[in-house]
Amino acid sequence: MLSRVADSLYWMSRYLERAENTVRQLDVTLSLMLDPGGASAESRWSRLLACLGDHAGLEWSGDLESMAHTLIFDTLSPASVTFCVNGARENARQVREEISTEQWQRLNRLFHQIRSPHAETQFRNSMNDLLASIVDGIHLFKGVSDTTMIHGQGWQFIRLGRYLERAYATATLLEVYQPDLFCAPEREHSGYQYLEQVGLLRCCTAFEAYCQVYTADISADRILEFLLLNREFPHAIRYSVDCIRAALEAIQRSGGRRPPEELAAGIGRLHAMLQYTSIAEIIAGNPGAFLHSIRQQCMRIHELVYRYYVQYSIQSALTA
pLDDT in tens, 199-214: 999 999 999 999 999 9
Instruction: Please identify, among 148, 172, 202, the residue that sits at the C-terminal boundary of a domain.
Output: 148
Whether 125 and 191 map to the same domain: the answer is no
Instruction: Give, in degrees to the nearest 5, the angle at Cα 149 between 147 and 155.
Output: 110
The Cα angle at residue 305 between residues 169 and 165, in degrees rounded to 5: 15
Q: Tell whether 105 and 5 lie within a shared domain.
A: yes
C-alpha to C-alpha distance for 93 and 104, rounded to whole angstroms: 8
Note if the pTM is more than 0.85. yes
At residue 55, the pLDDT reads 54
Q: What does the alpha-carbon distance between residue 162 and residue 166 come to, in Å, rounded to a whole number?
A: 6
Same domain (yes/no): 111, 180: no
pLDDT tens column, 223-244: 999 999 999 999 999 999 999 9
Q: Where are the alpha helices (DSSP H) in 95-183?
A: 101-115, 117-125, 127-148, 153-181
Looking at residue 264, the DSSP 8-state letter turns out to be H
Q: Name the residue range of residue 12's domain.
A: 1-148
Residues 185 and 138 reside in one and the same domain: no
* Count of structural domains, the chain: 2
Residues of the chain with pLDDT under 70: 1, 36-38, 54-57, 182-190, 255-260, 312-320
